[in-house]
Amino acid sequence: MTLALAFAAIRRHPCSIMLTALVAILTASLIGTSVQIALAVWAAVALASFELWSALEPIALKRLGGFREPTSAERQRLEAALGRSPL
């Protein structure tokens, strides 16, 4: 699911991704680090953050209250937005 979210974000916000990569490249060149390493670290941290968010979000929502499971109609809309269907 994390990769599906990442690819959906890239498809919907290509300009934002390019500008963020440009900032990572400029920062890497300013501190004298390899650009490939900087981009790899950026991608790894982003995917790890998405995964951590996916794991902690239900716990946080349950503690704050008001959390409920999506209805079947809501679930279908979410799956359509992510471009996948249940197995």
Which whole number is the average pLDDT over 42-48?
Answer: 88
> Residue 46 falls within a domain, yes or no?
yes
> Residue 55 falls within a domain, yes or no?
yes
> Residue 49 falls within a domain, yes or no?
yes
> pLDDT tens-digit profile of 19-37?
988 998 999 999 998 999 9
Task: Count how many domains the chain has.
Answer: 1
> Residue 39 falls within a domain, yes or no?
yes
> Residue 63 falls within a domain, yes or no?
yes
> Residue 87 falls within a domain, yes or no?
no
> pLDDT tens-digit profile of 74-86?
988 888 877 765 5
> Residue 34 falls within a domain, yes or no?
yes
**pLDDT tier for residue 47 given thresholds of 50, 70 and 90:** confident
Q: Are 50 and 2 in contact (CB under 8 A)?
A: yes
Segments forming the whole domain that contains residue 30: 2-82
